[in-house]
């Protein structure tokens, strides 16, 4: 891609806050016009996964979970962080079992995408899982999750009607639909 845009130069970087889930970083940067600027970001280079489990009928598994920042139970994808020493495939298999109580015999990498490149370097790896077998779910202590299967027309109506608002599910679903046409 040709561009005349120039990269910003990082002068310094400092972790302002950190816990098990979140890091806030303050970068002092030099902008292309010579201006110095304090830029705040989160989780510089984290990998995460999202999975679209598809059953034998072609239905997609979607989770529901209360999300405190928006104060609502929302429809969302199954997924999570890739831990240190894990591959994205290992992580997505773990998340499917933990959050949804399924194992899959077939896995396909659909693609990857940035979570929010204006504030984080987190990259998501989207997978499709099929050949599903029900197992015992093992959610983390703060995860209270319900899961249901929906047909593709139902999923598309839910997105259109604003019932599904989670961008990671929508990005993974778009990759799934594009891959199915190639």
Burial class (CB in 10 A: 0-12, 13-18, 19+), 131: middle
Taking a C-beta distance cutoff of 8 angstroms, is the pair 164, 170 a contact?
Answer: yes
Quick one: which H or E segment has residue 123? strand 123-134
pLDDT band at 55 (very low <50, low <70, confident <90, very high): very high
**The predicted structure's pLDDT at residue 24:** 93
Give residue 181's pLDDT band: very low, low, confident or very high (50, 70, 90). low
**Averaged pLDDT for residues 102-128:** 95
Q: Which two tokens stand for residue 179?
A: 């891959």
Task: Using the predicted structure, report yes or no on whether residue 182 has a pLDDT greater than 70.
Answer: no
> What percentage of the chain reaches a pLDDT higher than 70?
99
Token pair for residue 88?
A: 């994205």
């Amino acid at each position: 891609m040709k561009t005349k845009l120039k990269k910003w130069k990082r002068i310094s970087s400092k972790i302002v806050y950190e816990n098990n889930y979140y890091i806030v970083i303050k970068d002092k940067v030099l902008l292309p016009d010579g201006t110095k600027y304090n830029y705040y970001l989160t989780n510089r280079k984290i990998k995460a996964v999202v999975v679209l489990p598809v059953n034998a009928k072609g239905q997609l598994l979607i989770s529901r979970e209360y999300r405190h920042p928006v104060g609502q139970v929302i429809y969302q994808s199954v997924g999570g962080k890739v831990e240190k020493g894990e591959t994205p495939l290992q992580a997505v298999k773990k998340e499917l079992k933990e959050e949804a109580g399924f194992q899959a015999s077939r896995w396909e990498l659909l693609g990857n995408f940035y979570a929010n490149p204006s504030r984080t370097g987190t990259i998501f790896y989207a997978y499709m899982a099929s050949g599903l077998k029900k197992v015992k779910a093992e959610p983390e202590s703060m995860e209270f999750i319900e899961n249901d299967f929906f047909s593709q027309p139902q999923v598309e109506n839910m997105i259109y009607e604003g019932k599904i608002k989670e961008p990671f599910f929508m990005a993974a679903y778009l990759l799934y639909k594009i891959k199915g046409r190639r």
